Amino acid sequence: MSVTGVWVIGAVPDEKIRALLSTAGQESSSTPGAMPGDLPEGLAWWRSKAQESLFSASTTSPGSWSADDDAYRLSAFIDSCYDDSDHAESLRDTIMDLFPPDADEGLFAAAARKASPFSALAYALGPDAVMRLPGWFGGFLLDAEQVRTQLPAAEETLAVTGVRRRDVVERIHAWMTGLGDDPDPDADELLDGPLRVLRHAISTGQGAAGHVSWY
C-alpha cells in the first residue's frame, strides 16, 4: 500500500491562532509532539551520522539514489517523534481547515509518495539546524508575535546560499529519490516556501501554523 508524506504551512489570522491555542490549552508554540523516550539516544546517533551520506548512487536509475540502512533508521526515528493520538490528529485537521484555500504567498505545501518532505529537509540540514526551526519537527502553532520572534532563527537555518545550499539541495534529492519515488523533487521550495509563508504572516499581521502527516 502506497503512502504520501505531506508538510503544510500556512498563514492564519492571529485571532484564530489565539483561539485555537486557548481551546487546546497549549502554552507552547508547537503542536503536540510524542517526545519518544529514547529521544536523547536517537539525537545522539543522528548527530554522529549528520556529516555522512546515508545514500549511494543508484546503479539502475541514473540521477537517483538508493537508501542505506541508516537512512531507514533515521526516517523511522523522525516519524517516532510525531504524536499520532486522536487529539493530535484532530488538532491537525482543525489547523488544515484554517489554512487559506488559495494563497500563493500565505500557503506552502509539499507532498511525496513514500517519502516525507520534512524528513528530507531534516536529513539535509542536520539535527542541530532542525532544532532551531519553529515548533517540533515541522509542526507548530504560532501567534503573530511568536512568528516575529522565531523568524530570525528560521531565516538563519533555511536561507542558505552557495556551497551550503548546493549540498542541502543534493541531500534533499537523495532522500526523495532514495526513499520516495519522485524523480524531480523541488528541493529549493522546501527551503524557500516556509520562509515565504512566515514573512507573509509578518507582513500581514497574521500567525502561522504547520503540520506534518502521512496519508
Per residue in 125-145, pLDDT (tens digit) is 999 999 999 999 999 999 999
Please check whether residue 117 is in contact with residue 125, taking contact to mean a CB–CB distance below 8 angstroms: no
Query: What DSSP state is assigned to residue 9?
Result: E
The overall pTM is greater than 0.85? yes
Does 144 or 34 have the greater pLDDT score? 144
pLDDT confidence tier of residue 36, bands split at 50, 70 and 90? low
Query: At residue 150, what are phi and psi to the nearest 5 degrees?
Result: -95, -10
Contacts of 20 (CB under 8 A, 6+ apart): 26, 91, 94, 95, 98, 141
